[in-house]
Amino acid sequence: MTNGPVPYGTMAMTEPSSDGHSLTIDDWSQGLVLTVRSPDRVGIVANLAASIQLAGGNIIELDQHTDVVEGDFGCRIEVAGGVNAPELVRRLDDLRSSLSVDYTMTPISRRRARVVVLCSSTLHCPSDLIARSAIGQLDCDVVALVSDQTAARDLAARYGVPFTHLPVGEDRAAQERQVGEVLDELDPDLIVLARYMRVLPAWLVERYEQRIINIHHSFLPAFIGSNPYARAHERGVKIIGATAHYVTAELDAGPIIAQDVVHISHRDDVADMTRRGADIERSVLASAIRLHLEQRVIVFGSRTCVFD
């Protein structure tokens, strides 16, 4: 299985796992997470609950949200082990036809997610993610560091993480193809851009839609692009922040998962802002990854619904 969301209207039972084997009924023994989105209408939650009950399931957690302006509905339901997964899928497919319900259904598995980190020369986020993974704060394994620079080589060696250096020469497209080939070989559940100072090509973003998370060192949509701390200092802002978002073809414009800020003053120069901002970047990125791995994020166009 994959620990990230599978496409809406499908179920992970028919998806291949990272070791090439298909999921079986046993993979659902720990329970499952069901995420749903649909146009808002009366009776959606009641129909979902009834479908789960009739499939022998027991709901242990349910969060829901209705956007009254756009008329969108979303929910996340955690179901205990023992549910008849094929029967539940049949009932959910009926709801998809009758109520325009789109859903993902993913087993709660003991397998840790495979995460590939792309980085450049700024390493506080990659090192933090490796450490959090090692001590169990994130339910994932960092299976590789991939970089356009060599600065992360020693960090990777220190933690025993495979390192791949893909420098950008005169042929940028060739390097991008290499990145795509490496990612295909690594078969990640999630790709994290941890201050990777390159814009990914649209074809690669599309291949891993909603499975690439970027950390941007500003409170988006302010100061999109490079050198946000310097531009924030020039503007004289009184707060700085960090934003973790899904990557789209448009620079720093993907659906936002998590954000946080810290207050600063006229006494803080760019170096102070960079140092203080690094702490926010680490925590925001880790939070976004956890939310994604626990399937607590539902994307509605350019926005997200986050059940934390």
Q: Which residues contact 250 (CB under 8 A, 6 or more apart)?
A: none
DSSP strand pairing (303-306 vs 297-300): antiparallel
Nearest partner of 107 among 6, 12, 216, judged by Cα: 12
Which pTM does this prediction carry?
0.88
In whole angstroms, give the CA distance from residue 185 to residue 181. Answer: 6
* Residue 260 three-state SS: strand
pLDDT at 4: 45
* Residue 206 three-state SS: helix
In whole angstroms, give the CA distance from residue 247 to residue 208. Answer: 9
Q: Which phi and psi (to 5°) does residue 223 adopt? A: 55, 55
Per the structure block, which two tokens stand in for 270? 């760019």
Q: Provide the CATH number for the domain formed by 12-107 in this structure.
A: 3.30.70.260
Domain assignments of the chain as residue spans, ordered by start: 12-107, 113-306
In whole angstroms, give the CA distance from residue 152 to residue 119. Answer: 8
113-306: in CATH 3.40.50.170: yes
Buried b / exposed e along 58-68 (16+ C-beta atoms within 10 A): eeeebbebeee
93 classed as catalytic: no
- Each of the 308 residues of the chain gets a pLDDT tens digit; together they read 344 444 434 444 333 333 333 455 567 888 999 999 999 999 999 999 999 999 999 999 999 999 888 899 999 999 998 899 999 999 999 999 888 899 999 998 768 899 999 999 999 999 999 999 999 999 999 999 999 999 999 999 999 999 999 999 889 999 999 999 999 999 999 999 999 999 999 999 999 999 999 999 888 878 888 888 888 899 999 999 999 999 999 988 899 999 999 999 999 999 998 999 999 999 999 999 999 999 999 998 889 999 99
Active-site residue among 128, 148, 252, 268?
252
pLDDT at 13: 38
Nearest partner of 244 among 208, 226, 220, judged by Cα: 220
In whole angstroms, give the CA distance from residue 164 to residue 148. Answer: 9
* Topology match between the domains 12-107 and 113-306: no
In whole angstroms, give the CA distance from residue 52 to residue 34. Answer: 10
Residue 295 contacts residue 308 (beta carbons within 8 Å)? no
